[in-house]
Amino acid sequence: MAATHSLQVEKLFSVKDYVCVVSGGGTGIGLMITQALAANGAKVYITGRRMEVLENAAKTHSPGDAGQIIPVGPCDVTSKEQLEKLVQDISSKEKHINLLVANAGIAGPKGIPESSDATQLSKDLWSSESPPEWASVFNTNVTSVYFTTVAFLPLLQASQDHPDHATRSPSVIVISSMSGIMRNSQGHFAYNAAKGATVHLSKLMSSEFEKANIRVNSIAPGYFPSEMTAKSKDEDSNKSNLPDEKVQEKGHVPAERPGSDQEMAMAALFLCKNHYVNGEVIAVDGGVLNLVPA
């Protein structure tokens, strides 16, 4: 039975002394989650393909008096060899990790199904996308999530040897997308199909890895500021700006704005700390899936 003082927010969601790894942690949603973890006491290793971006994120956003943000890499998560090296590098510094955030992803080709004439529809889609482009999207958004998670399973399970392991359930947060839940292609058949696979993959892993006492959940974001959604980032902060008007133009976002860093932070801390949640997909989408068929 919990005493009232034990239900204070700083106790419920503290990740003090946690060791975390975030792929794609230098920008966008990955950086938001990295900041949230570090601000609440965690040591966060961020990785990605661009070392200068990772180093800038660590220099600019490390909290100083709380946790740490540590760049490691570079690492292309579609390469098993580079994933193995990443795990070796982190293993040389840490005996375990408490949380893996599998966040790396790409947008892929665009094919807009506008025509009601089947011949024209086929021509438009056939000419706008290619099998190699689809393969690249699936390789980054699905396959790499699987192999990244598998590579870190031993370090995750090793956290159970920690003296207070009962309060530190090792877990994985897979960043999928609301696009993997909806029936609207948004003109991104490859991306939405891949994110649908990512959603299901997170459920498969949650079931299969439960035998190792490792939880797997997923966040399915809506429109959040990132290089993917805003098409750019500020070079000094690694942050992107997505104006409210751009989201309002879409016509299917009840919140009429993009999600905030704070809202993504709350979702990540909840899944990290609530040990009674496993195999869930949490849509943080401003209400989009209330309007767009899912």
Catalytically active residues, by annotation: 176, 191, 195
Task: Give the DSSP letter string of 23-40.
Answer: ETTTSHHHHHHHHHHHHT
Alpha-helix residue ranges (DSSP H) falling in the chain: 9-12, 28-39, 51-61, 80-91, 118-128, 131-138, 144-158, 189-208, 227-230, 244-248, 261-273, 288-291
One-letter amino acid for residue 35 of the chain: Q
Distance CA 275, CA 169 (A): 6
Q: Spell out the residues 6+ positions from residue 243 whose beta carbon is closer than 8 angstroms to its own.
A: none
Cα 209 to Cα 146, 171, 213: the distances in Å are: 12, 10, 7
